[in-house]
């Protein structure tokens, strides 16, 4: 759950196109999300689920699909993302199983009843005080309830190391610039959530790291995802790149040019997801 309406899901800076990239992320990584929901060490099939920092609903809809008798309370600070989620719930004919709550978890804690499962994917690291929120989740969970925290290892990579041909290693340098930029703004990114969960009074039930390597042959959305994500990265780190790197990046992002990223056949989405499952 983000402290402001900038729900980033591990991606650089919010703003225009935010919902689009969240939905591309959900589409491309749908299989990995499903594998995580299937792995969760649940004592019983949950009926009441909370999705903290739900964005446009990647976790919400994966959980509704995995647990057909469950109802999900989707929480986010962005009214626009919640509106989109409600629209998708109507399209999927599950609107009667979804409740949305607009809330900034750094300011106030909403009424969430006693859920059987709380899910927080790529959201807790945006909070100013995630340790406080972990304690709130502990107090909110029902008897034998489970808390699942899912985090990406970092911003996904899309290009081979030797690409683009005129500036090999460009994406790696962009990532390094992004990491430097975010070090002071998102200090909890990359945290060991197992340690934090234990400090908040949880018992860790399991931890799993899932390797993500999705090529274009697996999803036609990979190219669009790479384009949108690298555009956002450019906006975040342009002042930190050399003129040569910036020019090469702009060639990749020019969809009408011969070097457009959409013309490449070697794209993939590469990262890791780690999930921690804990009980109060």
Q: Which is nearest to 66 in space by CA: 34, 94, 109?
A: 34
**pTM beyond cutoff 0.85:** yes
Other CB atoms within 10 Å distance of the CB of residue 194: 17
- CA–CA separation, 274 and 208 (whole Å): 6
Count how many Cα atoms sit within 13 Å of the Cα of residue 87 in the half-sphere of its side chain: 9
Contacts of 186 (CB under 8 A, 6+ apart): 125, 126
DSSP-based three-state secondary structure for 162 = coil
Q: Quote the pLDDT of residue 2.
A: 41
Which class is domain 18-279? alpha beta
Nearest to 78 by CA among 185, 10, 6: 6
Confidence tier at 100 by pLDDT (50, 70, 90)? very high
Give the three-class secondary structure for 158: coil
At 143-187, the pLDDT tens digits run: 899 999 999 888 899 999 999 999 999 999 999 999 888 776 666
pLDDT digits (tens, 9 = 90+) for 74-83: 999 999 999 9
Please tell me the least confidently modeled range out of 31-40, 59-68, 190-199: 190-199
φ, ψ for residue 105 (rounded to 5)? -70, -15
Dist CA 152 CA 123 (whole Å): 10
Specify the residue for token string 């790696």: 172
């Amino acid at each position: 759950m983000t402290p402001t309406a900038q729900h980033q899901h591990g991606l650089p800076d919010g703003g225009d196109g935010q919902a689009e990239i969240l939905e591309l992320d959900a589409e491309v990584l749908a299989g990995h999300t499903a594998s995580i929901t299937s792995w969760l060490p649940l004592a019983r099939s949950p009926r009441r689920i909370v999705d903290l920092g739900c964005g446009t609903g990647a976790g919400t809809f994966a959980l509704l699909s995995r647990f057909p008798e469950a109802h999900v309370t989707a929480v986010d600070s962005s009214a626009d993302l919640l509106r989109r989620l409600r629209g998708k719930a109507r399209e999927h004919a599950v609107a009667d199983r979804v409740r949305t709550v607009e809330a900034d978890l750094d300011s106030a804690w909403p009424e969430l009843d006693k859920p059987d499962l709380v899910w927080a994917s790529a959201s807790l690291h945006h909070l100013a005080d995630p340790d406080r929120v972990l304690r709130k989740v502990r107090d909110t969970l029902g008897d034998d309830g489970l808390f699942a925290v899912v985090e990406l290892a970092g911003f996904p990579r899309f290009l081979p190391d030797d690409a683009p041909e005129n500036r090999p290693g460009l994406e790696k340098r962009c990532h390094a610039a992004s990491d430097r930029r975010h070090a002071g703004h998102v200090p909890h990114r990359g945290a060991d959530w197992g340690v934090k969960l234990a400090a908040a009074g949880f018992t860790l039930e399991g931890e799993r790291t899932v390797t993500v390597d999705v090529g274009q042959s697996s999803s036609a959305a990979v190219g669009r995802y790479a384009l949108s994500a690298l555009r956002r990265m450019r906006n975040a780190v342009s002042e930190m790149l050399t003129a040569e790197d910036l020019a090469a990046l702009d060639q990749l992002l020019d969809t009408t040019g011969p070097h457009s990223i959409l013309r490449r056949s070697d794209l993939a989405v590469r990262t890791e997801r780690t999930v921690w499952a804990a009980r109060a």
